[in-house]
Amino acid sequence: MTDYITVKTLLETELRQQERAYPLMGEAFHSLMLLHRKPTERVCLCFHGFTAGPYQFEPLGRRFFNAGYNVVVPLLPGHGRAGNWGKDNPPPLPEDPKEYLQFAVQWLNLAQRLGHRVVVCGLSGGGTLAAWLALERATAIERAILFAPYLSGSSKVIDLFVQHVDTFFSWTKTVAPSYAGFDIAALRAILDIGQHCLKRVRQSPVAPTFTISSESDKAVSNLDHKRFFEAALKQQPLTWYNRFDKVLDIPHTMMTEQEGNRYQNLLIVMTQAFVESKLTWIEVEEIAYYMTKGRTFRSVVADLGLEAKVSKDMPAMMTMVDKWAIVVSRELSSKGRRY
C-alpha cells in the first residue's frame, strides 16, 4: 500500500509539475490520471493518437474509473508542447521508434503497480503502441483494445511516401487541439512499429485484442486491421474485431463526440463488453448466427450455456456484429468456399 501511495503521488502531483515546466498547449494535454485511494482489480492504460493528447480518452477513462478501474492516460513523448511550430521549426515529435517503445514499457511497469490486471487501449498511433505491448508483453496484458491502430496507411502510395519522403505535413483541418503539422519522419516512427506488429502477430503469442475499425476512416488501412485480427485469432481465441459501417460515418478520431463520433457512448459500451466478457470470437459468432434465426440474445446465451461468460454490455455489442456476414461465411464454408 505504501508503494501504491508513492506512485499515486508521483503521477498526480510530480508528473503534472513536470508537464507544466514544458509548457503545454493547454490543460487538455496534461496526462490524465484517474486513481482510486487503493489499488484496483483492473487498471486501464490508454495511449492517445498521433499529434493529439490525453483528452481523447477522457470519456472512456471516466466510464472505466466509475466502474472501479484505475485509469492512466500519459502524454506521449514530444506531444502537446507549446511553441511556434511550423515547417522551419517542427514540433519535437520522436523520430526513433525506440523512444515510443521505451515509453510504452515504462508506463506498463507503472500501471502494474496500480492494479492487479492491466487493460491497454490506444487510438491510431497509440493503438499501434497498444498492439506492440499486446505482442511483446502478452502475458502482462489482460486485454488490449486497438482503436483504428496505425499499422499502415489507407493506401500503399501513402506508405511509400511516409517511408521515403522527408517533408513537413500540415493538417488541412483539425476539430480538436493538436499540432497543426509535423515532419513525416515523425510519422515514419509509428509506421515502423505498425509494420513490425503486422509481421510479429503471424508468429507470436498475443494478448486478447479487440481491433476496431471504421469504413469511414480515411487515414489508416482497414484491410490491415482485418489481417491483424485474423492472424491474432490463430494465436489467441479471445480476439475480437468490429468494423463500423460507413452509414455511421465514424471518423478515424473515433474516441469522442468532439472529434466527430456521434456514437461515442456505443463505442465505450463495446469496449466494456470486451473487457468484462470471457467469450471467444467463435462463441460471439455462434451467438450472432442463432440471433439471425429470430432468437433473442438471452435465449441463445442460455441455450449455449454461456451466461457466466457474458457481461451486461454484451447485448449492445451484439447489435454491431455483422450477423449476416457470419451467415454467408458459414454457408460458403459448408460449400468449400471462403467468404
Q: Are 286 and 314 in contact (CB under 8 A)?
A: no
Q: What is the pLDDT of residue 157?
A: 39
What letter represents residue 42's amino acid? R
- pLDDT under 50: residue ranges of the chain: 155, 157-161, 164, 339
**Side-chain half-sphere exposure of 231, counting CA atoms within 13 A:** 18
Question: What domains can you pick out in the chain, each with its CATH number?
Answer: 2-276 (3.40.50.1820), 278-339 (no CATH)
Q: Residue 113 corresponds to which cell in the numbers above?
A: 503497480
Q: What is the pLDDT of residue 329?
A: 77
Q: What is the pLDDT of residue 167?
A: 67
Q: Judging by DSSP bridges, how do beta strands 32-34 and 70-73 pair with one another?
A: antiparallel
Q: What is the pLDDT of residue 331?
A: 75
Q: Which of 200, 250, 207, 243 lies closest to 225, judged by CA?
A: 243
User: In a 10 Å sphere around its CB, with 0-12 CB exposed, 13-18 middle and 19+ buried, how is residue 95 labelled?
Assistant: middle
Tens of pLDDT, residues 249-307: 999 999 999 999 999 999 999 999 999 999 999 999 999 999 999 999 999 999 999 99
Q: Are 251 and 261 in contact (CB under 8 A)?
A: yes
Q: What is the pLDDT of residue 325?
A: 84
Q: Are 130 and 151 in contact (CB under 8 A)?
A: no
Give the span between the Cα atoms of 80 and 53, in whole angstroms. Answer: 6
Q: What is the pLDDT of residue 327?
A: 81
